[in-house]
Amino acid sequence: MAMKLEILGKEVIKPDSPNHLQTLHLSLFDQFLPSTYVSAIFFYDDQPNQEEILVHRLKNSLSQTLSLFYPLAGRIKEGVVVDCNDEGALFTKERADVLLSDVLRNPSDADLVHKLIVSPDHADPGTWPLLHVKVVFFRDRGFAVVVSASHKVCDAASLSMFVRSWTKAAKGFADTVNPEFAASVCYPPADISVEFPPLLEHKTKSKTKSFVFGPLMIEKLKIRASCGLLAPQATRVESITALLLRCMTKARRPKTEAVTEFAITHTMNLRPRVPLSFLPRKAIGNFFFLPLLKETSESKMNIQETVSKLRKTKEELNELITKDSNSDEAKERITSAMLSFLCEVSPEAETYAVSSWCRMSFYEVDFGWGFPVWVAPGSVDKTQVVLMDARDGEGVEAWVTLPETDMAEFEHDDELLVYATPSPSIRTK
């Protein structure tokens, strides 16, 4: 289904009070990340009586929130620092020519959803805003709030913290804990002379689909994934990740003989894994660990073996953290391990990235008009998986992006469809 968006207005929103920090140094791994946005789209079925009241409340509360998250109102300078100049975030108001129900009727096909996402101007990263917010009103009722923050400054957990702080301001409450932008404290500041190894570029068209794993099927998959494990039962994220990787590599294997290696990364959020002396829980930035799994193209990607390997990477990270009580030395070990992993990736390897957004409370984002009926990630790159909590809080929605030819096989994989279904229509009031 085609969807047209009419721009009703654009405005720059500045913090309601000036900040006192002039520059924020990006970390070494901020530099490695592409100039793109981490985005989430929140769909609401409730329709306030007046659109202007909604927009006014969102803009005023956004201005208040930017006073806490002030780097998001700045601009990247020379590729290695954020100039915290309070230049502002971009706020766009749009109207869609489709019904909200049109979007919710077939959520497994991401084409409609991705039309709501904004893309930064890659030509000059110093000019595009680090935060872009859109509110989109649908033809009948309902609206979507699209929040896009620069991946140079935010990861998914940071985005969640920002949005939840914004909702408090929208409802008239002040956030009691100030965020801390401390990426360069955890990881070394960026050095523009550092060159990271290039990753394989995918020049073929990609396709994104979403699949839902219900609570019952998750339990069955966990039992299968835990068979033979000496450790505790596999988690839902471990089990789903292992199954998806098995099916993704199966879909890829018959079509290319040139690829001899799969490079798989599974992003780990450092915040819940390290002590508070190491990293505050309200730390804003890219605080992740990126372990690497390497498999040959002949590998069958056995689910139990993959879970064991994923678990081993967690154990290795725990060892890096707890080897001694010196947090500075632990940071150096983690940085060294990350650099080592990145250098091990062959440019010819087929890369797969898995990121879990589960337990990040995206369905609790209430600006004063109720909780969202659906939340979708807008940051799903090629050959990538994003896992999110389903609306019921028990299931998991997996967003999978693959080359079109691979997706045609992946979405019909019998083994996948035993446990997952394409995202069903979303019921509203």
DSSP 115: T
Whole-number pLDDT of residue 12: 96
Is residue 196 situated within a structural domain? no
Whole-number pLDDT of residue 424: 75
Q: CB neighbours of 322 closer than 8 A, spacing ≥ 6?
A: 330
Domain identity same for 269 and 355:
yes
- Annotated active-site residue 366? The verdict is yes
**C-alpha triplet 397, 96, 123: angle, nearest 5°:** 80
Domain identity same for 164 and 303:
no
| Residue spans of alpha helices (H) in 122-206 | 156-170, 183-186
- Annotated active-site residue 30? The verdict is no
Start-to-end CA distance of the chain, whole Å, equals 23
Q: CB neighbours of 86 closer than 8 A, spacing ≥ 6?
A: 14, 15, 18, 19, 70, 73, 74
Domain identity same for 65 and 24:
yes
Last residue of a domain, one of 128, 149, 183: 183
CA distances from 94 to 99, 108, 199 (A): 14, 23, 36
Is residue 95 situated within a structural domain? yes
Helix 215-226 vs helix 236-252: crossing angle, to nearest 10: 80
CB atoms within 10 A of CB 392: 10
Domain identity same for 116 and 31:
yes
Report whether 154 contacts 69 (CB < 8 A): no
Maximum alpha-carbon separation in the chain: 59
Whole-number pLDDT of residue 21: 74
Is residue 143 situated within a structural domain? yes
- Strand pairing of 283-284 and 180-181? parallel
What per-residue string of b and e applies to 43-52 under the rule 16 or more CB within 10 Å gives b? bbbbbeeeee
Domain identity same for 10 and 100:
yes
Domain identity same for 30 and 71:
yes
Domain identity same for 279 and 312:
yes
The domain spanning residue 14 has which CATH number? Answer: 3.30.559.10
Is residue 111 situated within a structural domain? yes
Q: What is the pLDDT along the chain (429 residues), one digit of tens a residue?
A: 788 999 999 999 999 988 767 888 888 888 878 778 999 999 999 776 678 899 999 999 999 999 999 999 999 988 788 999 999 999 999 999 999 998 888 787 677 788 888 776 555 656 789 999 999 999 888 999 999 999 999 999 999 999 999 999 999 997 777 898 887 777 878 666 566 555 445 557 888 899 999 999 999 999 999 987 766 789 999 999 999 999 999 998 655 555 568 889 999 999 888 887 778 878 999 998 888 898 887 677 899 999 999 999 999 998 888 876 677 888 888 888 888 887 887 777 888 999 999 999 999 999 999 999 999 998 666 668 999 999 999 999 999 999 989 999 999 999 999 999 988 767 665
Domain identity same for 277 and 411:
yes
Catalytic option among 45, 151, 175, 389: 151
* Range(s) of the domain holding residue 212: 204-364+378-420
Domain count within the chain: 2
Last residue of a domain, one of 183, 217, 250: 183
Is residue 58 situated within a structural domain? yes
Is residue 426 situated within a structural domain? no
Whole-number pLDDT of residue 335: 86
Last residue of a domain, one of 183, 214, 231: 183
Is residue 215 situated within a structural domain? yes
Domain identity same for 11 and 126:
yes
Domain identity same for 174 and 226:
no
> What span, in angstroms and rounded, lies between the C-alpha atoms of 323 and 35?
35
Domain identity same for 178 and 57:
yes
Distance of CA 152 to the CA centre of its chain: 13
Catalytic option among 46, 366, 381, 413: 366
Is residue 198 situated within a structural domain? no
Domain identity same for 20 and 157:
yes
